Structure 1
């Protein structure tokens, strides 16, 4: 645990929810046991619990794993009172770590973040982490642009289908992160408690507006990806039909020759023209003429 105190506000910063963190919370604070269980357990859904003396809230923020190419979720468990803010991290978040180091090393920045009370400090942290979500949106948008260019340049491969599926999964995860977060922020906008004054509602409403924009863009990206998926499936189907059409034309073209070889391949005496070996070349000539005429007809009808 790391602690920073400025004026009447103390920030207790837990980088992970290990046993030491849970024991520290149980020993030094009189939090409800259900809140302690939420902190010590695995990932929880975003929520807010308002008590007389403190607020317990769970927030989710999207992140992006470059190595795996997927959207991840960072959970932040928060205890807020009039004179302290406790944050417990579940997962890695370099942005929050940078904020702590900046506050710890810069007096002016510390005053800007913590100088107006714990409730305002919570707003500043949430605002920073929410704004950081734009990076995930931009990354997914860049992937969508690459997929679109790949589809319409007719250079699609098996990897294109996989990239479409991966991007759609990322968008689904992003929506699952943002939707509950909107509900949590709405509850903070309307609250009026000693540790979260009504005057702060405008600030939290600003975060809610940002989340609404993130959500609207995500919904639009989902529709775009559905369209790109349908276009890609149509192009794949068209190419498959072209291959089947070509194979059908070849099969039909060879059908007369197959019929001829099957007819004269029978072990039957006195077949027509069987006693005239040179007549076979006339028959082959007639068959090639038929095949040529069939191909011309297919071409005129735009079948090949």
Structure 2
């Protein structure tokens, strides 16, 4: 059974250790941090592999489990790395659906919350995959085999990690683009609201002065000759407000 340096033993026991390929005179260690999707959240986990004189062991947190050769190691890693591809595809599809809903002008409740949740997951994935890519490349470089079929298999695993990383980065860029467009759209709505308030002030301020004049004994003012002048002015204010609201609603729908 392989005997590890106490510091290396601490490394493989730590769930917080990033992906790394550690070389030692008696053995080498590949710590490969991957992730799974649980309750819509990304949960990283470590695969701890120790190679000593072509003997391969997996440390599961308590025990060293022997893996019978590099073909068996491939079979051990393949489903776990393929699962990464599936998770990236699931989250990428969620981003595409969010994008389609946004560009189809569908209402997006809690957009900022949705955006932050997905961005947080994608950033975690990108960090994990970048480190895994570096560590696995070092591992393959060191253990490059004369067996071409075996090389092809492990190169395929590396390609899956790299493709997952690229797709994750693309999803982050896509999500950021959606956020920028959404922010621009919100800014435009705020500008329209400010414009509407300015227009309302321009309409109601003069009318307000007119209403104020009715409290002064001044002749020749509109509606001052008969009874109910104040009611006429109030009616004009209401009609003006309704017309202005209708125009704003129409412009908003057109935009």
Structure-2-length-normalised TM-score: 0.77
Q: How well do the aligned residues superpose, as a CA RMSD in angstroms? A: 3.4
- Distance between the aligned counterparts of 2:200 and 2:94, measured in 1? 41
Q: CA deviation at 1:121?
A: 2.2
* 1:163-220 deviations in Å (ceiling 9; x for gaps): 122111111111101101111111122114xxx7453444322211111211221121
Aligned to 1:62: 35
- Distance between the aligned counterparts of 2:141 and 2:188, measured in 1? 55
Q: Of 66, 69, 75, which aligns to 2:46?
A: 75
* 2:9 aligned with 1:36: yes
Listed as ranges, the gaps of 5+ residues in structure 2 are: none
The change in CA–CA distance for 1:187 and 1:233 in structure 2 (over 3 A counts) is same
**Does the residue aligned with 1:87 lie in a helix, a strand or coil?**
strand
* 2:145 aligned with 1:210: no
Q: Of 209, 226, 233, which aligns to 1:278?
A: 226
The answer (yes or no) to whether the contact 1:80–1:86 under 8 Å persists in 2 is yes
The answer (yes or no) to whether the contact 1:59–1:75 under 8 Å persists in 2 is yes
The change in CA–CA distance for 1:36 and 1:70 in structure 2 (over 3 A counts) is same
Aligned to 1:121: 72
Q: Of 125, 129, 136, which aligns to 1:185?
A: 136
- Distance between the aligned counterparts of 2:167 and 2:230, measured in 1? 71
Structure-1-length-normalised TM-score: 0.66
Q: How many residues align?
A: 238
The answer (yes or no) to whether the contact 1:188–1:204 under 8 Å persists in 2 is no
Aligned to 1:150: 101
Q: Of 175, 190, 202, which aligns to 1:240?
A: 190
Moved over 4 A (4+): 282-285
Q: CA deviation at 1:303?
A: 7.2
Aligned to 1:20: none
* 1:57-112 deviations in Å (ceiling 9; x for gaps): 2111121122xx2222111112123464332346xxxxxxxxx9xxxxxxxxxxxx
Aligned to 1:110: none
**Does the residue aligned with 1:190 lie in a helix, a strand or coil?**
helix
- Distance between the aligned counterparts of 2:130 and 2:200, measured in 1? 55
